[in-house]
Amino acid sequence: MEQKEKYSEKVTEAYNTLAKFVVYGARGQPPLWPFSIIETNWYYTHFFAREIYHTITGLQKKGIADQKIAELCWGPSAISHWFYIIEPAFGVPGLNPFQGLDKHEGIEFIEKTVDILSLQRKGDKFCRDGKNLLLSASEVKQVLDGREFLETKRNLNAAKSIRQLTMTLWQYAILIQCGHRAYSQEFHGPYNLDKNQQLLIKDYFWLKPGSNGNLIWDFSSDLPYEKLKVLEIYENSQIEIDLFNHYNVSGYPIKFSVINEDADLSEKEINKLLTTSLKVMSEGNKTIEKFSKSDWVKKLIDLRYLWLKPHKDILGQDWRPPEEIYKLTKRTDEAYKAAVEFEKKIYPLVRTLSPEELVEAVTKSLVEIIY
């Protein structure tokens, strides 16, 4: 994309990267459950960018260090999704993607997002090299020192349980976060070790949203842990992770460890956790069995405002959603229409332009929406 002087370098760099995902999707399958990502972002245009911007700005004015703010805004793959909030405006001309913010504040919102990612990720902030590096070499050493690993060859049943557990937690994160698992899951690495080995870390967190008295999902209370960490060590494998946490791994781990806080789980504890997780997932599926779109929108609103609670507690502000925000639960047809209009606009470009031209055109359109 031709760089115009009026365009921020941070904004153009972010959307040149994002355009490739808009065009190609997550392996051709962007989030579609419980509704499309365009619909989700249509709801976000009405409150989320505004709330994030004013909260972060408030913390900065209070003297909270940027590094501390970056830690509060965890994890980076969820933060990366903030770039997507403008998508509905691609299909609906005139739609303000950052309602409640003026143009200057909207640009600042994207720039602050880039700044947060620059602090959270130790490598490329957009993972363009296929690495999502969140730990320094010394931090990796600290994670591994004294850690007890189970070897796959000697613990085949435990290895099978781990695969089932990570798959279950993946699905669980999607369920409790209304399709956006990155608010409860962050896979990072690969971290290169000795002997051609690579470490992949699977972090699961915020597994019981609102467990301090504002529980979003009743069934989540049965999970024994608020967060878990799965360490997987591979040998001579290819591991790639993008900025939205889509990942590819060749081969299987040669050893692994499951950690609750700082304690390693035994094989018996892993099996017990798997049983409990499957039961909780089953209860979750029963809970949402008759959910309407409006029900999902309410959960989405509650979750995103609750996510900002630690930030707003520092500011001495009430984190709860304003009552008028819930009016969005009655506007599901508008959100759906925005998704339809997005598809109508993107598909002709896909059919007529080369991949390079398409990325260029989408980048230009997205940046111009902001400006």
Structure tokens that stand for 69 in this block? 């703010």
Long-range contacts (CB closer than 8 Å, 24 or more residues apart) made by 270-275: 270/158, 270/161, 270/162, 270/165, 271/158, 271/161, 273/165, 273/224, 273/225, 274/161, 274/164, 274/165, 274/168
Q: How far apart are CA 66 and CA 71, in angstroms?
A: 9
Query: Residue 353 has what pLDDT?
Result: 86
State yes or no: pLDDT of 78 exceeds 80. Answer: yes
For the chain, first and last CA: distance in Å? Answer: 15
Q: How far apart are CA 53 and CA 59, in angstroms?
A: 10
Q: How far apart are CA 289 and CA 276, in angstroms?
A: 20
State yes or no: pLDDT of 104 exceeds 80. Answer: yes
| Residue 133: φ, ψ to 5° | -100, 115
State yes or no: pLDDT of 27 exceeds 50. Answer: no
pLDDT bin (cut points 50, 70, 90) of residue 234 is very high
Mean pLDDT of 101-113: 97
Q: CA-CA distances (angstroms) from residue 132 to 110, 187, 346, 363?
A: 20, 8, 29, 23
Mean pLDDT of 288-313: 97
pLDDT bin (cut points 50, 70, 90) of residue 148 is confident
Query: What 8-state DSSP symbol labels residue 327?
Result: G
Q: Which of 273, 19, 239, 289 is nearest to 131 (CA)?
A: 239
State yes or no: pLDDT of 31 exceeds 70. Answer: no
State yes or no: pLDDT of 187 exceeds 90. Answer: yes
Between 109 and 356, residue with greater pLDDT: 109
Query: Residue 25 has what pLDDT?
Result: 56
| Whether 303 contacts 51, CB under 8 Å | no
Q: What is the dihedral of CA 350, 352, 355, 356, to 10 degrees?
A: -130
pLDDT bin (cut points 50, 70, 90) of residue 211 is confident
Mean pLDDT of 302-311: 97
Structure tokens that stand for 296 in this block? 């999902």
pLDDT bin (cut points 50, 70, 90) of residue 367 is very high
Query: Residue 212 has what pLDDT?
Result: 77
Q: Residues of the chain with pLDDT > 70: what percent?
A: 96
pTM (2 d.p.): 0.94
State yes or no: pLDDT of 39 exceeds 80. Answer: yes
Q: What is the mean pLDDT of the chain?
A: 93
Between 82 and 346, residue with greater pLDDT: 82
**Which of 24-33, 191-200, 241-250, 295-304 is least confident?**
24-33
Residue 256, C-beta contacts closer than 8 angstroms, at least 6 positions apart = 149, 150, 152, 159, 162, 230, 231, 232, 233
**Which of 14-18, 24-28, 89-93, 119-123 is least confident?**
24-28
Strands (DSSP E) contained in the chain are 150-151, 185-192, 197-204, 228-235, 239-241, 247-249, 255-260, 263-264
State yes or no: pLDDT of 292 exceeds 70. Answer: yes
pLDDT bin (cut points 50, 70, 90) of residue 312 is very high
State yes or no: pLDDT of 5 exceeds 80. Answer: no
